[in-house]
Amino acid sequence: MRSIFLIGFMGAGKTSVGEMLAERLGYRFIDLDQRLCERFGTTIPEVFESHGEKAFREAEREELVRCADGQKLVVATGGGAFCSEKNRQIIHASGGLSVFLDPPWETLGARLAGDNAGRPKYGDAAQARRLFESRLPDYRRAMRVVGLAGSESAAAAADLVLAVLEEAPCAT
Ligand code: S3P
């Protein structure tokens, strides 16, 4: 099977589900935001603050290219990464499989209301919801969509992803 790129909004569980999924598949796990923190030697809010979103997005694309090298990886992308057509091309041209983790807004909104420090794209609940809705058409361009209730554990959500992959497998 090919590399899997988890996409979706902030709070969708891309990192926690990605870690479980990588374990289940025996793939290496990469968290793109983590890579960016290491690259800049600081936190994401600091990168936005000191370098600006443009520099963040450029670095995000470069790190994505580094991940899209055909290795067997599970990559948790940041919530904005798949909203760039160029980034979608990088993922798909590498043979990567994009998987949209899709819990309902109510789950995302509740999670973000309780945990939004470190998320520079989160302003308040209404703004976050508008951002989520504006990004949905891009998220829906993913090759697979995994509907989540939002109440599952990361392990259960990883099993749901695996079930979707098995229903519609992608040979390498
Ligand atoms: C962003 C989401 C964040 C991070 C950055 C920008 C976004 O990742 O990449 O703060 O534009 O939605 P998470 O989705 O992992 O929170």
> For residue range 19-54, what is the model confidence (pLDDT) as tens digits?
999 999 999 999 999 999 999 999 999 999 999 999
* CB of 63 sitting under 6 A from ligand 1: no
**Contacting residues for 37 by C-beta, under 8 A, at least 6 apart:** 43, 44, 47
pLDDT at 172 over 50: no
pLDDT at 169 over 70: no
Q: What is the residue extent of each domain of the chain?
A: 4-164
Q: Name the one residue in this structure whose structure tokens are 């990192």.
A: 15
Residue 37 CA to ligand 1 centre (angstroms): 12
17, two tokens:
């589900």
* Cα 103 from Cα 6, distance rounded (Å): 13
What's the pLDDT band for 168 if we cut at 50, 70, 90? confident
CATH number of 4-164: 3.40.50.300
117, two tokens:
């420090």
Count of beta carbons in the 10 Å neighbourhood of residue 7:
32
* CB of 4 sitting under 6 A from ligand 1: no
Could you give the percent of the chain with pLDDT greater than 90?
90
Residue 166 CA to ligand 1 centre (angstroms): 28
What's the pLDDT band for 150 if we cut at 50, 70, 90? confident
Q: Which helix (H) or strand (E) holds 6?
A: strand 4-7
* Cα 135 from Cα 139, distance rounded (Å): 6
**Quick check: 161 and 12 in contact, CB under 8 A?**
no
What pLDDT, on the 0 to 100 scale, is given for residue 170? Answer: 59
84, two tokens:
């760039």
pLDDT, tens digit, 9 for 90 and up, residues 72-99:
999 999 999 999 999 999 999 999 999 9
What pLDDT, on the 0 to 100 scale, is given for residue 126? Answer: 97
Could you give the percent of the chain with pLDDT greater than 70?
97
121, two tokens:
């794209």
Q: Name the one residue in this structure whose structure tokens are 């979608």.
A: 88
* CB of 120 sitting under 6 A from ligand 1: yes
pTM value is 0.95
55, two tokens:
């520099």
Average pLDDT over residues 45-69: 96
